[in-house]
Amino acid sequence: MPAVLVHGVPDTHRIWDTVRPHLERKDIITVDLPGFGNPLPSDFRSTKEEYLEWLINRIAEIGEPVDLVGHDWGSLLTGRLASIRPELVRTWTGISGPIDPEYPWHYLAKIWQTPGEGEQWMQDLDLDEFAANLVEAQMPKDAADEAVRHMDATMRASILALYRSAIEVGAEWKPGLSNMTAPALVIWGLDDPFLPHRFADELGNASQARAVVKLRASHWPMNERPADVARELEAHWAQV
């Protein structure tokens, strides 16, 4: 059974490039969500439900339960998938992605969720400045430069649509986490400026995780501490 790694926003599959060399297994699949380095299917409106359905179909095509890993929005989508389609998932790992109604959206999310204001922010976006902001938040420079390089018009529109569909995602999706049967692991950065690490504990409790691992990192532990994240993933997968 392969491991499937799902990125967040505003990333692509390339966000996993730093951790992959530290993993012993080679049966790794890294996906690009529609609009994030991957063309949009016909009539795809980039809502959270459509991303979830797209991911379910992709995992089902593999034909066997997978070790599912998600970062940021990938954590939300994969956590939901594991809770409603448990037969598709052997293990689940959520990294830096809360599924909780108590989570207060970060300031950029609030802008993106506001019609008009979000469009203006995307129109005025200076990619170099945004990359510098990501670096200031402790994202490695190479990863930040790579992330913003793919923020084309399609990704920008997809981000707005996704966030506007997800204002109540915590209330909608958290209760279902109790249905998760796959062994779960939560990984979080202690210094994440967007996500207080108490939400790691909340996610761990809700998913009945076997462990909640908090690393001295920001929002991107797999870029900042790739060897440590790889070690935790391998240990998690080996326990099944």
For 37-79, the DSSP string reads SSPPPTT----HHHHHHHHHHHHHHH-S-EEEEEETHHHHHHH
CA distance 81 to 141: 32
SS3 of residue 166 by DSSP = coil
Q: What would the 3-class secondary structure string for 182-201 be?
A: CCEEEEEECCCCCCCCHHHH
Q: Please tell me the predicted confidence (pLDDT) of residue 172.
A: 98
Extents of the domains making up the chain: 3-103+168-238
The pLDDT value recorded for residue 213 is: 98
**CATH code linked to domain 3-103+168-238:** 3.40.50.1820
224/138 Cα distance (integer angstroms):
8
pLDDT of residue 200: 98
Kindly list the averaged pLDDT for each block of 10 residues, start to end, along the chain of length 240. Answer: 96 95 96 95 97 98 98 98 98 98 96 98 96 91 88 97 98 97 98 95 98 97 97 96
Q: Rounded to whole angstroms, how far apart are CA atoms 22 and 226?
A: 7
Q: pLDDT value at position 240?
A: 85
User: According to the model, what pLDDT value does residue 147 have?
Assistant: 86
d(CA 155, CA 33): 10
